[in-house]
Amino acid sequence: MAEVNDKLVATLIRRLDQLGESLEKASIAEYIELFRRPRQLLYLNFLVGIVRGFGIAVGFTAVGAIFLYLLGKIAALNLPLIGHFVAEIAHIVELELRHLPR
């Protein structure tokens, strides 16, 4: 029985050492320290939110520009059904641009 307990204790110690090494590699200490300083955590989250919002705006603009470019190329092909749809969109955009304050 003592031999089984010694093997079990040795296995547990080895596993605890592995767990400690994994936690050190994962930088858990820095993460916990960040939670102890709420102002820094709020500041970092604020910056991340600004950067994420800027990335979304730039990405949406790029995708929208590509979409409108392709839509213009499709309209130039003069396909009856698609051409009518594109003409409707262009008309709506034109009306909205007229109503924008300058």
pLDDT, position 76: 74
Token match 């709506």: residue? Answer: 92
Reported for 33-38, long-range contacts at CB under 8 A and 24+ positions apart, including other chains, are none
pLDDT tens by residue, the chain, 102 residues: 667 788 888 898 899 989 888 877 777 777 778 888 889 889 999 999 999 999 999 999 999 899 888 877 877 776 677 767 778 888 888 888 788 776
pTM for the model: 0.48
pLDDT, position 61: 93
Domain spans of the chain, in order of start: 1-36
**Rounded Cα distance, 96 and 102, in Å:** 13
Contacts of residue 91, defined as CB under 8 A and 6 or more positions apart, other chains included, come to: none
**Rounded Cα distance, 69 and 29, in Å:** 50
pLDDT, position 51: 96
